[in-house]
Structure 1
């Protein structure tokens, strides 16, 4: 899967002469945490909510509220933006992009093609478009955990067990603990009582592992 498959294409941008207070308002109104800064069609920087917070004068400074507001009202994002922006291309593999973001500890990566911003990849894109479908978050059904059943041969037995009963599996998931190899199965059913009982009769240790999605 490539970045272009899940990136946010409708990117909200601002110019470097935008006032910081206006940038803050735009982020609040659109419920976003950062704004790419584009001048003459080119990405020149990025500003985040944290940048705005750091730029705000502390309450301990020797200014009254009116003076503080005046100072902030004259400040532009050009004075606080980050110019060394880590970017990716639309054809970058998702795995590589996530690794880059984790290594640099950033929550978003502007997507640039031909020198122009064409999208942005955020943690929300990864969660909502990859992780949530993988885990079945927000979907109906019941999840059961079958302990120590994450090995290939056990998974094959359980898959056959489920198939014979005409049940539909939405997702399989093995939590990242190699010492346990538990298997979480998301079934397209409203009541998992019967399948849990039958699996226990087969010798498996099974529990309902459901949560409010």
Structure 2
């Protein structure tokens, strides 16, 4: 299964010049644990709950680009779900940005998405076995 069939398309993003306070509000409202950081449509970083926690007390005065991670691990829409799962396990991360050939962010896939796919596969296999 290609990741394009599982990813969240057009995810909510944050700008590198936004404050961490604004980023935290967006994350809290959407119940997200990570936010892609995008500038001019291109992925430039990712901000996680952990990154925000490290700057508590300074969220209003700290910019996203001071806390975001830039050594990004990404996949393309043509990678498989298995590729994404292997990368997430190998690097111990909970989400992967999906980036097109031109560097534009097109989606995100998280551990929750992979668990949903796993349950679909298990349910399908169970129907075949019991069917």
Question: So what's the TM-score if we normalise by structure 1?
Answer: 0.57
**2:109 is aligned with 1:121:** yes
Contact 1:38 1:44 in 2 (8 A): yes
Which residue is 2:78 aligned to?
A: 91
Contact 2:52 2:59 in 1 (8 A): no
Which residue is 1:7 aligned to?
A: 7
**CA distance in 1 between partners of 2:59 and 2:91 (Å):** 29
Contact 1:9 1:118 in 2 (8 A): yes
Contact 2:95 2:111 in 1 (8 A): yes
Q: Per the alignment, in what secondary structure is the counterpart of residue 55 of structure 1?
A: coil
Which residue is 1:78 aligned to?
A: 65
Task: Report the structure number with the largest CA radius of gyration.
Answer: 1
**CA distance in 2 between partners of 1:73 and 1:18 (Å):** 9
Stretches (4+) displaced over 6 A: none
| C-alpha distance after superposition, 1:51-82 (max 9, x if no partner) | 101121xxxxxxxxxxx4xx331111110100
Q: 1:21 to 1:91 in 2, by over 3 A?
A: same
**CA distance in 2 between partners of 1:42 and 1:9 (Å):** 15
Pairing of 1:125-204 with structure 2 (within 5 A): 125-128=113-116, 130-136=117-123, 170=127, 172=129
Task: Choose between structure 1 and 2 for higher RCO, CA contacts under 8 A separated by at least 6 residues.
Answer: 2
Which residue is 1:54 aligned to?
A: 54
Pairing of 1:38-49 with structure 2 (within 5 A): 38-49=38-49
Which residue is 1:146 aligned to?
A: none
Which residue is 1:112 aligned to?
A: 99
Q: Which runs of 5+ in 2 are unaligned?
A: none
Q: Which runs of 5+ in 1 are unaligned?
A: 57-67, 137-168, 173-184, 188-213
Please state how far the C-alpha of 1:171 moved relative to its aligned partner: 5.7
**CA distance in 2 between partners of 1:125 and 1:19 (Å):** 28
| C-alpha distance after superposition, 1:21-56 (max 9, x if no partner) | 110110110011000000111110000011101121
Q: Per the alignment, in what secondary structure is the counterpart of residue 72 of structure 1?
A: coil
Which residue is 1:27 aligned to?
A: 27
